[in-house]
Amino acid sequence: MKFLMRKNKGFTLAELLIVVAIISVLVAISIPIFRSQLHKAKVATDWANLRSFYAEIQADYISTGEYNPKIKVDWSENLSYDWHSITLLNGQKIEMKTGICAVSFTEDSGYSIEYECNKRDTECHLSLPVK
C-alpha cells in the first residue's frame, strides 16, 4: 500500500533530455540573429561618430575657409594612414568598431568621408560628400 501512495518528486531522464534539446535548438537559432544585430549596432555607432566628425570638420572649414592640418587626409600617399580611427579637432581619438574610413579634402569645397564595413556589404557603406 505504501508503494501506491508514493509521489513522484522529479523529472525523468527523458524529460530532461528533451528540455535540453529544445534549449539547444533555440540557442542555435538565436546566435546568428544576435551576431547580425550586433554588427548592425557597431556600424550604426561608426556612422554616428563619422557624421559628428564630418559636421565638426566641415564647420571648421566653413569658419576658416582653409584646410586644417590636424585632419589627416593623406590616405592615398601615406602608407601609415590610420584607416581604423578618426581624431577629433580636440585631439580625442575614436576607433571604428567594425570598418575603415578615409577622409579627403577638396580645395574650395571642403571635406568628404568614405566608410566601408569589414563585411564589404553595400548596406554598410557610408559616403559623406562635400555639399
pTM for the structure as a whole: 0.77
What is the Cα–Cα distance from 116 to 99, expressed in whole angstroms?
A: 6
Domain membership flag for residue 16: yes
Structural domain for 54, as ranges: 12-128
Domain membership flag for residue 5: no
Task: Provide the number of structural domains found in the chain.
Answer: 1
The answer, yes or no, to whether residue 115 has pLDDT greater than 90, is yes
Residue 40 in grid coordinates: 548592425
What is the Cα–Cα distance from 84 to 72, expressed in whole angstroms?
A: 12
Domain membership flag for residue 71: yes
Site of grid cell 581604423: 84
The answer, yes or no, to whether residue 80 has pLDDT greater than 70, is yes
